[in-house]
Structure 1
């Protein structure tokens, strides 16, 4: 008998808000977190805007000791530790500093590029012959699994503790990996999520590819335009999202608050064949991923009320919507509501999936659908497929039973997770 899996805790560090309560308010108010950065202008970036969470020194002192903060120069680790710790505490779990590890709890916390600024600092010191000045934490801050290692030590988890990496699909993939571990009885709780560094050394490659918007440097809040006819590229962002997955019986036994149930999902790849490539998804694989996610979750296409899409504000948005219509066999007014968090946060890269999963769960738990910012001029190719009122411009109160969350990443990789409102 496979175990049922629910979400009992969440944490988030996003460009438009830090902390679950403020993030929930930002979603309802459709608050943009995209800002202009003089540093990018000085470095002659074409796109001089981005989404970067704002974390004060006072807030950091709640999560790190003075010793841990000494020499800490990895924004991704900072974001991940804050979000992960918040999710743990939000679930009503305690942090035990001593004693045995918690053998029933594990961590799958992903990232794409981690410790870029620390790498830069280390390279400069090594080139100057000052290797001894690197400090004792340079390795853990630059190894890919540094984030799960940090969280594992803080929380004392004794089950699987690891890091996954799958480009923009990372966060949703981590959630599904943790879900399967609990479903198969290998853990009672799994902290899942993902994080991403910020800054020019992460965003520079995308600027060089000319896939970022460059004409909104003086109007940053208008730059990220998923599903819009005037979309001109994604805005780079950063941050972290975290969710505490738990076996249903365990959550009930300890009287935990349950945000929603995870029904299942699917992960696949288009193999960079056909129309798939390093940077573009193979539509056949996307459609298959959606269909298998529904099959694995044992629900019908008609059960989907809302889609939180990947939808990056590029030319691929209309293709993504078309893939959904084909996978679900639903068009026009029969199509589910659809929205994109990236209109407010930009594309948070490896952190995108987890932050967007948190946003998805908040919508189910509080029964509303946040609006799509900067989408008054909906793309005509999308309007040929679905009715415009299925792409709300404003936040609407709406009953939601089932929500589908999708993430698609570089390397032609896909993940779709299915969430359902929990009724005791």
Structure 2
């Protein structure tokens, strides 16, 4: 069963909606900015990537009643992205009488509704429990985003949420692909979201893995693959994709962005050089190779990589793992880019936001450029020819794109996208 992508949606720090996001990727527009709230709270890193949600965005996606008491940024981001992807696929919400039994949702998150949790705790401690409102549970349960999307769209197939740290979004796509492959669904809305704010980002600031020297220069702060990378910039947002069986997409005349050719998930078991915060290199290489095997590809067929590449000391290790897994180096190495230089690290949302960016390269016939890495790490230069890491967007017609994500807990996910060509 072949699986294709027929819809995309995004809510990113550098662009809410596909049009804005695509423009930012083409021209290297960064969505990272200084946040006074973080400075007031004494954070070392006072910058972040946060989607700019306007009143128009809210009015266009939520009724006045739905907006009342809505205090979950991740749910807002996820619904905006998911609804856009559904509409982009030419699909509409079901009527009130019955659901679409053949369509479902797998939409992941890390922590949902942190601000709502804080508000709820304050009300409970103040003996004002009755003021919590009827949506506090929906906004704070992990599956709130998938349940909300499923209910708004009227979907009757599997409705669930996955959570695997920074690998969440990429894993969600693989899970959706597998459900369609097994003929248990015809359409799956997949993606992931992440809350924004100090209660999400504080733990990382305490770990001292965020850059602190760029508070006055946020556009230069996220520096994947750079010799002067100083840590990842925290971000938030959501990405969404509509996956569909090829037969179903063709029968309804859907526009097809790309084919989902295969994917794999695994864990390094926090053994060897793996830990809670660092991936086991063998695990990463096995995951990439398993994705290739699932897609029935050889190592030479990948021509573009969208890496995890968070702007930490592990970037050079990631490049080494790609090189070893593919058996390719120098000018033979594929083009590689990272979306994080423009949006920061969107945590649980990162894989889905970056997957949308990856797939857009087929439509635009481009490889999006990399920012802030004109001083490439010397260990990376030993593996990859400088021409394979474009600093600006280049015209190119990709055929096979590999997207990988590696998360806390030493968990890995890799997926292969293929340019769609009608038989």
Shorter-chain-normalised TM-score: which range?
Answer: over 0.9
Query: Is 1:95 paired with 2:55?
Result: no
Provide TM-score, normalisation by structure 2: 0.99
Distance 2:362 2:170 in 1: 17
Distance 1:418 1:205 in 2: 32
Aligned with residue 43 of structure 1, among 41, 44, 54:
41
Report what 1:164 is aligned to. Answer: 162
Aligned with residue 363 of structure 1, among 361, 375, 378:
361
Q: After alignment, is 386-395 or 408-417 more displaced? A: 386-395
Distance 2:234 2:271 in 1: 27
Distance 1:85 1:158 in 2: 16
Report what 1:258 is aligned to. Answer: 256
SS at match of 1:266: strand
Distance 1:367 1:298 in 2: 24
SS at match of 2:56: helix
- How many residues of Structure 1 are paired with residues of Structure 2 in the alignment? 422
SS at match of 1:195: strand
Distance 1:368 1:69 in 2: 38
Correspondence list, 1:100-119, <5 A: 100-119=98-117
Distance 2:145 2:205 in 1: 26
Report what 1:63 is aligned to. Answer: 61
Deviation at 1:99, TM superposition (A): 2.0
SS at match of 2:300: helix
Report what 2:273 is aligned to. Answer: 275
Report what 1:397 is aligned to. Answer: 395
Provide TM-score, normalisation by structure 1: 0.99
Report what 1:179 is aligned to. Answer: 177
Which ranges in structure 2 are unaligned for 5 or more consecutive residues? none
Query: Is 1:10 paired with 2:8?
Result: yes
Distance 1:81 1:4 in 2: 27
Distance 2:168 2:224 in 1: 20
SS at match of 2:38: helix
Deviation at 1:202, TM superposition (A): 0.3
Report what 2:123 is aligned to. Answer: 125
Report what 1:349 is aligned to. Answer: 347
Report what 1:381 is aligned to. Answer: 379
Aligned-residue CA RMSD in angstroms? 0.6
On the 8 A contact 2:267/2:410 being kept in 1, the answer is yes
SS at match of 2:260: strand
Report what 2:32 is aligned to. Answer: 34
Q: After alignment, is 51-60 or 242-251 more displaced? A: 51-60
Query: Is 1:408 paired with 2:391?
Result: no
